[in-house]
């Protein structure tokens, strides 16, 4: 079974902190989407998952969820074993939010490539 990993810089994980601050309803929706994405990686397409086509961001994807008026986005990628790497989560309020998140995610990917064991922690999707 594929795994889900969170980027962790040694001090904190942006994704873990973000997920901890979601409401129970929002967190349940995100966990459900992550579970399907993990178990059936090619079952999701737009509007739930967007694959970026611009060359610079080609290895990045965006998980999209709408909870009421809140637009939740998580930029992620896959490793060689097709495990999911959650890189940069954010609440989309402006169009520039995505550009900023993509740039941060590229930096995180560079860190991960240099030393995966130092920058990744496994995410327990059930929250146990």
Is there a domain that residue 22 lies in?
yes
Structure tokens that stand for 76 in this block: 């992620």
Contact 124, 116 (CB under 8 A): no
Contact 6, 16 (CB under 8 A): yes
Is there a domain that residue 128 lies in?
no
The total number of structural domains that make up the chain: 1
Q: Residue 58 belongs to what domain range? A: 4-122
Is there a domain that residue 127 lies in?
no
Please report, for the domain that includes residue 107, its CATH number. 3.30.2310.20
pLDDT in tens, the chain (128 residues): 789 999 998 888 999 999 999 999 999 999 999 999 898 877 777 888 999 999 999 999 999 999 888 899 999 999 988 899 999 999 999 888 889 999 999 999 999 999 988 899 999 887 64
The DSSP string of 11-61 is: S--HHHHHHHTS-HHHHHHHHHHHHHHHHSTTT--TTTEEE--SGGGTT-E
Cα-based torsion angle of the residue sequence 115, 33, 124, 25 in order, rounded to the nearest 10 degrees: 130
Is there a domain that residue 78 lies in?
yes
Is there a domain that residue 100 lies in?
yes
* Residue 105: CB atoms within 10 Å: 27
Is there a domain that residue 79 lies in?
yes
Token pair 């490539």 is at which residue?
113
The predicted structure's pLDDT at residue 78: 92
Query: Counting every residue, how long is the chain?
Result: 128
């Amino acid at each position: 079974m594929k795994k889900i990993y969170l980027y962790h810089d040694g001090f904190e994980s942006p994704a873990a902190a973000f997920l901890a601050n979601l409401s129970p309803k929002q967190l349940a929706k995100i966990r459900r989407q992550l579970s399907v994405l993990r178990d059936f990686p090619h079952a999701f397409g737009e509007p739930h998952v967007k694959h970026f086509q611009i060359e610079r961001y080609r290895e990045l994807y965006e998980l999209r969820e709408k909870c009421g008026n809140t637009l939740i986005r998580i930029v992620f990628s896959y490793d060689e074993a097709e495990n999911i790497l959650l890189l940069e989560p954010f609440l989309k309020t402006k169009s520039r939010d995505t550009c900023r998140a993509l740039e941060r995610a590229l930096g995180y990917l560079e860190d991960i490539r240099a030393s995966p064991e130092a920058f990744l922690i496994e995410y327990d999707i059930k929250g146990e």
